[in-house]
């Protein structure tokens, strides 16, 4: 056998091995992203469902805080208007709108919790305490779910942007595109204003 034939067969064998070991990475990583996204949605839904009970409980004690309560209700409505599913995770505009709506709701809930500090009877109410505890737990779960989603998107995007994943994706998975991830909003990056 000629050396050129051996070199040619070696190159072909190397290409087959590289492709064979990476051919399923994109679909596997894509499914991980979808699974992580489902957890993010699940936790946001949990928070979304807690809000009416929380607002009702606070309304009973702090009825003259209508502006704060209304901002929570409006922020919740905005969240309900933005529909982002796993198919649209590559759409930066829709992802940004989703993130902005969720951040708005987080901000409104933070203001509500500050208002609650003025009402000792409300802070002692068992229903409110249970709802507040559930909300705090949900916020922590949201943080964990977002972190997991960011990690799965990172792995997926790296596969699409590096060799040999980029080559394999372009040939076998041309529909694959880079996914969006969470970024801190301007409000989240600014320092909180503390007043004494």
CA distance 104 to 7: 61
| Predicted confidence (pLDDT) per residue in 58-85, tens digit | 888 887 788 889 999 999 999 999 999 9
Q: Which domains are present in the chain?
A: 29-189 (1.20.1440.20)
Tell me what pLDDT residue 139 has: 95
Task: Report the predicted TM-score, pTM, of the whole model to 2 decimal places.
Answer: 0.85
Distance between CA atoms of 193 and 8, rounded to whole angstroms?
Answer: 67
| pLDDT, position 187 | 64
Measured distance CA(126)–CA(75) in Å, rounded: 26
pLDDT digits 0-9 by tens, 91-142: 999 999 999 999 999 999 999 988 888 888 887 888 899 999 999 999 999 9
């Amino acid at each position: 056998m000629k050396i050129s034939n051996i070199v040619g067969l070696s190159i072909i064998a190397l290409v087959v091995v590289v492709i064979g070991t990476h051919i399923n990475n994109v679909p596997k990583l894509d499914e991980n992203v979808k699974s992580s996204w489902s957890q993010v949605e699940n936790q946001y839904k949990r928070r979304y469902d807690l809000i009416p009970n929380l607002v009702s409980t606070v309304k009973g004690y702090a009825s003259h805080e209508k502006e704060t309560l209304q901002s929570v209700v409006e922020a919740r409505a905005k969240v309900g208007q933005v529909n982002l599913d796993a198919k649209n995770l590559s759409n930066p505009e829709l992802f940004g709108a989703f993130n902005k709506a969720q951040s708005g709701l987080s901000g409104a809930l933070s203001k509500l919790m500050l208002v609650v500090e003025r009402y000792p009877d409300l802070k002692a109410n068992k229903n409110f305490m249970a709802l507040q505890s559930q909300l705090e737990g949900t916020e922590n779960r949201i943080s964990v779910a977002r972190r997991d989603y960011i990690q799965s998107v990172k792995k997926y995007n790296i596969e699409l942007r590096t060799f040999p994943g980029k080559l394999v994706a372009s040939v076998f998975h041309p529909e694959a595109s880079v996914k969006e991830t969470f970024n801190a909003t301007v409000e989240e990056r600014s320092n909180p204003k503390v007043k004494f």
